[in-house]
Structure 1
Amino acid sequence: MKKIMNIDKYKQCLNPEQISGVVHEKDNLAKILATQEKIQSNSCKTIAFSSPIITYNETGIIFPNTINIIQGKKGVHKSRLTEIFCGLMLQRDITQSGHRFLGMKRNAMQKSVVLYVDTERNINDQFPYAIQKIKLLSGYSIEDKPENLDYISLIDIPRSERFDTLNEYIKRFRTRYEIYNLFIVFDVVTDCVENFNDVRESLRLVDMLNETINTYNVTFLCVIHENPSAGNDKGRGHLGTELNNKASQVIQIGFEKDNQGNDTDLIRLKFLHSRNTKRLDPIYVQYSEESKGLVLASSDFINEKLAMKKSKAQIADIQNWLTDNLKDPKSKKELIEMITEAFDCGSRIVEDRLKELDDKGFIERFTVGKSAHYKLIIPF
C-alpha cells in the first residue's frame, strides 16, 4: 500500500512560496467546512429572517447585512437622497414626521452608526454642508458632533491607493463600533477603485463588501452614476454590473420626462430590484428650494407632470387614425409600429392609448395563437 506523507514532512520538501500556498489552501478548506457546518445547522431549524432597517408603507426597503445601490444620471440629486437615508438612520426622535424622510421609517429597535465616505465634493464647503444637512435632518444642530456619525473624504488619496486606504479605515471603524449596526455609504463607489472597468479591481471591491456583510454587522449603501448614454440605465463600468448582481435593493432616481423627452421637475424613485420583498411602486418627489433638499411631491403636482407625457398622440387623434387604417384586424406588434411611426411617439404611449380605446369599446383585443391582435368594433 502506498504510504501517505504527513503534511509536516511534505512541507519540508517545499520552498517558502510553496509552503505558503499549502497553508493558504488549508485555511480556505477550513473556511469552506466551517461555512458548510453553519449552513447545515441553519437549514435544520426555522429561519428567522432579519427585520428591515428601513421601511416604506410597511414594506422593507433596506435590510441588515446587505449591499444596496442608489443609481442615476448626473445631476439627479443622488447625494441628496443619500443624505435622507443617513438622516433617517440617525434620527433622534423616532416619533418625528416621516415626511422629511419621504415617508420612510427606520427600525426603532436597532441603533446604528453611519459612516459616510465621500469621493467627489470639496472639503471646504460642499462636503461639510452635506454633513450639516444630515445632522439637521436627524434632529441635531450644526454645532453638534453626534457620536454615531462618522465621515471621511478620499478626495486627497490617489486612486491607486484608495481601496487599501478605505479597507484599512473600515476595519478601524468596525473595531471602534463593533457592538452597533454599521451603515456605510460610498458616494460615489466607482471612485473607490482606480479603474471601475477593470474586472480584477471591481471584483476585489465587491468581494470585500460581501465578506464584510457576511462576517460583521454591516450594511452598505453604494451611490453610482449610470452610463451617460440615453436609454442605458446600468451603473457605470464592470463595477456597476457586479454590484447590481450582488445588490439586495437597487433604487433609481431620475427626472420624469415630458412628451418631447425633456426633464420635468418631477423626480421618480424607482425600485429596480428588490431581493427581499415585492418590488415597490415608485415614490415621486421634487426638489425644494426652501429646504434645499427633496420632499414628497403633491398628488396635483404628480398628475400635472405625468399628464405632460401623454399630450403627444392624443386619444382623439389615435381614434381617427384607427378609423382610417384599421379596416382589417392587425397584430398588436404591427399596429404599435405603425402608430409610433405615424405620430412620432414611444411604444408605451401607444400601448396606453390602445388600452384606453379597448376599455371604451372602440376597439377589441383578441388573440390568435399566442399573439395579441386588435380590430375595430362596428358600429363605432
Structure 2
Amino acid sequence: MPQLLENREKLRHRSTEAVRFAVPLVFQDDEPVIWPRTLNLIQGQTGSHKSRVAALFATVMIAAGIPACDAVGLARHGEEGQSYTLCYVDTERNASDDFPFAIQQMRERAGYARNEHPACFDFITLEPIPRAERLKALGQYLEYVRGKYQNHLVIVLDVLTDCISSFNDEKESLLLVDMLNRFINSRDVTFLCVIHENPGGVKARGHLGTEAQNKASTVLQVAYMKQANGEATDVIEMRYLKRRNGSPGLSFHVAYDEATKGLIRADATAVAQATASRRAKATPNELAPALATELAFGPLASGELEKRLAARLGASARTIRERIAELAATAEKLPNMAGCECVLTKAKDGKETRYSLTPVGAD
C-alpha cells in the first residue's frame, strides 16, 4: 500500500504539468517506429533474416553520426544531447564465428574499424548458459549494464524465447515480461526482441509470444513474399503490424545481398514482380491477352469490361477493377490482337468510364 500511494502522488503531481512526449529513437522512411522505454518485437518464420533486421536497428543506434542504415531507410533521430548504449544479447549463434562476424558487421557498418570497441556497444551470448538458468543470468546482466552505463540503454534480445526454459511456460513467460517492464518503467531502458512465429501464422511463438505481442509498442513482421503457388520469391517484406501512435501497415521491402551478407533495399522492379506473382487470379500474364481479346473491337464501359474479364478469368469484379486500375495508372505496355504495343487508357463518356487499348505514341 505505501508504494501504491506514493505512485498515486507522483501521478497527481505529473498530471498537473505540461506533458512532453518522448522523441522516437528510430524512424523508417521518416515514419517513427521505435520509441524510448518500450518493448518492441521483430518476428518471423525461421530463415527470414530476423537477426539481420535486428542488426540493422543496432547499427543505427551505435553509429557515430546520424546515418541512414544500409540504404533501407532506417535512421536515428537527430535530437542533440541524447546518447545511447546498445547491448546485444544473443542466445543461439556460436561464439567461434557466427556471432563474432555479426558483431564485426554491425561495427563496420556503423563506421568503426573492425578492431575498434566503441563505448556505446556492449554484447554477450547466453548460448553456453543452461536454459533453466538463463532468466536469472539475463536479470544479472541487465542490472550490470544499467549500473555500468549512465545513458539510455537499448537492449536487443535475440532470441526472446531462448531466455527461458519453455516459451509455453506461463509462469516463466510472465516473470520475463514483468522483468522487462520493470526495467522499461524505472530504469530508462528500451527492448528490441527477436522472436519466431508459429509455423504458417503471424502469431509469435508460445505463451511468451502472446504476452510480448500484447505488451509491445511496435511489432515488425519479417517474411519472404510468396508466389501464388506458395514458393518464396527473393523479396523480403518488412511490415509493421503494430506501431504506437502510428497506423499499422507501414511496410518496406529488402533483399539479401550475398556480397555483403546483409540486407539491402529491394529493387522496385523485383518488388512489383513479387507482388504480381502472389496473385492467384487475374495475374498480369492472364490479364494482358484477356484485355486484348475483349477490347479488340473498340472501347468498353468499365462495368461491362469488368464483367467480361471476371467471367473469363474466374475472378471477382473487385479484383478485376483493382487490376485494370493499376494497369491504367502505371501505363504498362500491353499487346493488342495485332501484336502492337499499347497502353490501357480510360476516358469519360458522359457519366460512364470507357477503357481502350491505345497504341503507344498515339494521341
TM range (shorter): 0.7 to 0.9
Is the CA contact 1:84–1:101 (under 8 Å) kept in the aligned structure 2? Answer: no
TM superposition shift of 1:92 = 1.2
* CA displacement 1:168-207 (0-9 Å, x = unmatched): 1110110000x21100011000000011101111000000
Q: 1:325: which partner in 2?
A: none
TM superposition shift of 1:253 = 0.4
Q: 1:244: which partner in 2?
A: 213
The aligned amino acid for 2:118 is: P
**Which consecutive residues of structure 1, in runs of 5 or more, have no partner in the other structure?**
1-28, 322-334, 361-376
Q: 2:129: which partner in 1?
A: 157
Give distance in 2, aligned partners of 1:168 and 1:359.
55
> Structure 2 length as normaliser, TM-score?
0.79
Q: What SS does structure 2 have at the residue aligned with 1:162?
A: helix
Aligned pairs for 1:257-272 (under 5 A) are 257-272=226-241
RMSD (CA atoms) = 2.8
Is the CA contact 1:318–1:353 (under 8 Å) kept in the aligned structure 2? Answer: no
Q: 1:306: which partner in 2?
A: 275
The aligned amino acid for 2:102 is: A
TM superposition shift of 1:291 = 1.4
* CA displacement 1:189-247 (0-9 Å, x = unmatched): 0000011101111000000011110001100000000001x2x1110000000000000
Aligned pairs for 1:1-380 (under 5 A) are 29-94=1-66, 96=67, 98=68, 100=70, 102-108=72-78, 109=80, 110-177=82-149, 179-228=150-199, 230=200, 232-279=201-248, 281-310=250-279, 312-313=281-282, 314-315=286-287, 351-356=318-323
Q: 1:9: which partner in 2?
A: none
Question: Which deviates the most, 309-318 or 232-241?
Answer: 309-318
Give distance in 1, aligned partners of 2:5 and 2:325.
60
The aligned amino acid for 1:191 is: D
Q: Which has the higher strand share?
A: 2
Give distance in 2, aligned partners of 1:148 and 1:105.
17
Give distance in 1, aligned partners of 2:55 and 2:273.
28
The aligned amino acid for 1:164 is: K
TM superposition shift of 1:46 = 2.3
TM superposition shift of 1:141 = 1.3
Q: 1:366: which partner in 2?
A: none
Q: Percent identity between the aligned chains?
A: 39
- Distance verdict in 2 for CA 1:38–1:303, change over 3 Å: same
Q: Larger radius of gyration, structure 1 or 2?
A: 1
Give distance in 1, aligned partners of 2:49 and 2:121.
22
TM superposition shift of 1:279 = 2.7
Q: Which has the higher helix share?
A: 1
Give distance in 2, aligned partners of 1:69 and 1:227.
14
Give distance in 1, aligned partners of 2:192 and 2:219.
10
TM superposition shift of 1:77 = 0.4
Question: How many correspondences in the alignment?
Answer: 312
Give distance in 2, aligned partners of 1:103 and 1:354.
32
Give distance in 1, aligned partners of 2:214 and 2:322.
34
Give distance in 2, aligned partners of 1:308 and 1:357.
16
The aligned amino acid for 1:49 is: F
Q: What SS does structure 2 have at the residue aligned with 1:175?
A: helix
- Distance verdict in 2 for CA 1:243–1:276, change over 3 Å: same
The aligned amino acid for 2:109 is: L
> Structure 1 length as normaliser, TM-score?
0.76
Give distance in 2, aligned partners of 1:238 and 1:103.
33
Give distance in 2, aligned partners of 1:305 and 1:311.
12
TM superposition shift of 1:43 = 1.9
Question: Which deviates the most, 101-110 or 150-159?
Answer: 101-110
Is the CA contact 1:88–1:101 (under 8 Å) kept in the aligned structure 2? Answer: no
TM superposition shift of 1:276 = 2.4
Give distance in 1, aligned partners of 2:129 and 2:47.
24
Q: What SS does structure 1 have at the residue aligned with 2:54?
A: helix
TM superposition shift of 1:315 = 3.9
TM superposition shift of 1:37 = 1.6
TM superposition shift of 1:39 = 1.8
**Which consecutive residues of structure 2, in runs of 5 or more, have no partner in the other structure?**
295-306, 328-351, 356-363
Question: Which deviates the most, 50-59 or 113-122?
Answer: 50-59
